[in-house]
Amino acid sequence: MKRKLAALFAAAMLTLTAAACSGEEASTTDSKKGTIKLVLKDEDPSNPATKKYFSNLEKALKEDEKLDVKFELVQMPQGNYAEKLNLLLYSGDIPDMIYFQGGDQQISGQDLLEDLTPYLEKSKHLKSIMEPYNEKRMKNYPYLLWIKPLDFKTPVIRSDWFNQLSSSKALMADPSPENYKAFFKELIEKAPGGGKPKYAITAAGDIAELDSIFNMAFGINQTWLEKSDGTYEYAKVSEKEKAKLEFYSELYKEGLLDPQFATKQWDTKEKAFYDGEAGVITGTNGKVIDIYNGKMTQVNGKEAALTVLPPSKGESQGYGATDVSKESRGIAISSQSKNKELAFKVLDYLASPEGQMLDRIGFEGEHYQQSGDQLELTEKYYSEWYARFWEPAAFETEKPLKTPLLSEPAEESAKLVRDYYSEDNKVMLDEEASAKWDATENLYKEFSADVITGKKPVSDFEKFAEDWEKAGGAEITEFVNGKLK
């Protein structure tokens, strides 16, 4: 089986190399006219809303920019998007514009993705909406572009329950791990929902959502922590990680953490929250918190509107450090495309005020309507619309909005994430180190779950750290230290 896979991969690489060589002879066609073939996750070319979006975009480009563009959207099969996309690209069928959600480094390593730096320097709109972290990511890895808000998760609770707890004020004044634990205990003991919640907090599948609250409080403020001798160690094998896992195990043992957290899916996690089984969940700041708030008030009334909780405070404070090594997802342009200039003009237009009106608030008469000197967003906007491309923090509609883009809790969550911004020191791994990464991460996930649920004592942490090094962690650490010096 391994020989077969190796042969398939080698054949794919030959196909890509041939495509790259043929692309050297490709000349850019008319930069104002052409067909853009693109592949986007979750965009089905047969979907009426998708068809209408790109039809409206074609009309807007012609009216506002005098660009005669036709879009051809690729139908993607069901399944893991990154895997299906790479199969498409390895076949030699490379669209002009590609959305990646993983797997892009293999493709950029074959010189099949365009360096977007010179395009951005000449852009009319895009360079002005980029945040400092976008600029740093592009400098480190100039192939993916993704102008979106920071996507850290923030914890939320129903306001009607929050306001009944005497520990709420202490938590907001000093959100230490100890005060968080006291808040969780009162939430269960007082059960402000008439016997609910049954547990204080739940998560979907692993502890990453808990980490967004507690990591920095335990001093885990970057992926690689500097030691006293000036070298760096991976945060997940540090003494600070050990202390955090011990804290999580206490939450689990005392019935404050959902006993099914390790097997929860995102939909069952959310249902537990709306049904009152769980008191606190985390959700991506901004739009996701907006959705949570809308559903919670729909199910439980306006008084159940959400309160956003702060990140825990200890050695430091924040919802997480921002990775500036590269964009983890985003839009790329094929280096083999004959319409590279035209493709970038489309992306640049979507950053303009006119392009943002379409991308951010949808179709007039469906997602918004004129209301005197204002624009009013409809229920359909709140229930179904999302930006396909860019979401810069600074966005103003042509007329003032009668109703805000985001609810008050959603705006507060986004503000808090911005207020606690800090940068990570994560580095891109080479192929050899990357090959070992999954094994070491799986080892960590298994051990951390066993410690939290009591299957293993926290005193086994040193043995885990040794196993982590043997599984490839030592080589990864050596590589990273070479980069961070």
177 within some domain: yes
Q: Is the pLDDT of residue 25 over 80?
A: no
- In the prediction, which pLDDT does 139 show? 96
* 284 DSSP β-pair partners: 153
Please tell me the total count of domains within the chain.
2
Which of these three, 297, 321, 345, is where a domain ends?
Answer: 321
SS3 state at 192: coil
Q: How far apart are CA 74 and CA 206, in angstroms?
A: 33
Residue 228 falls within a domain, yes or no?
yes
Task: Kindly state the average pLDDT of the residues 343-351.
Answer: 98
Question: Do 231 and 293 sit in the same domain of this protein?
Answer: yes
The CATH number of whichever domain residue 387 belongs to comes to: 3.40.190.10
Residue 346 in domain: yes
Please report whether residue 469 resides in a domain.
no
Neighbouring-strand partners of residue 411 = none
- The verdict on 301 and 178 lying in the same domain is yes
CB-based contacts of 369: which residues, under 8 Å, 6+ apart?
Answer: 375, 376, 378
Has residue 217 been placed in a domain? yes
pLDDT in tens, 212-227: 999 999 999 999 999 9
Q: Is 27 helix (H, G, I), strand (E, B) or coil?
A: coil
242 and 362 in a single domain? The answer is no
Q: Is residue 40 part of a domain?
A: yes
- 170: Cα separation from own chain's centroid: 31
Tell whether 478 is covered by a domain: no
Looking at the fold, whether 178 and 205 belong to one and the same domain comes out as yes
Express each pLDDT in 348-365 by its tens digit. 999 999 999 999 999 999
Tens of pLDDT along 66-93? 999 999 999 999 889 999 999 999 998 8
**Residue 222, domain extent:** 153-321
- Residue 345, both tokens: 């003009």
Q: What digits encode the pLDDT tens for the residues 307-341? A: 999 999 999 999 999 999 999 999 999 999 999 99
Question: Whose structure tokens read 């006293």?
Answer: 228
Between strands 374-377 and 199-201, the pairing is: unpaired
Among 147, 184, 150, 153, which residue's Cα sits nearest to residue 167?
Answer: 184
Q: Please check whether residues 249 and 311 belong to one and the same domain.
A: yes
Q: What is the mean pLDDT of the chain?
A: 93
132 and 219 belong to one structural domain = no
Pair (230, 92) in one structural domain: no
CA atoms within 13 A of residue 451's CA, in its CB half-sphere: 25
Higher-confidence residue: 22 or 196? Answer: 196
- 59 and 120 in a common domain: yes
Give the model's confidence band at 432: pLDDT under 50 very low, under 70 low, under 90 confident, else very high: confident
Same domain, 184 and 303: yes
Q: Which of 376, 397, 418 lies at the terminal end of a domain, its last residue?
A: 397
pTM of the predicted model as reported, rounded to 2 decimal places: 0.86
Residue 466 belongs to some domain of the structure: no
Upstream peptide bond of 197 is cis (omega within 30 degrees of 0): yes
Q: Are residues 141 and 171 in the same domain?
A: no
Residues 200, 290, single domain; the answer is yes
Statement to judge: residues 344 and 300 lie in one domain: no
Tokens 């998007």: give the residue. Answer: 81
Last residue of a domain, one of 277, 304, 321: 321
| CA geometry: angle 75, 147, 24, nearest 5 deg | 60
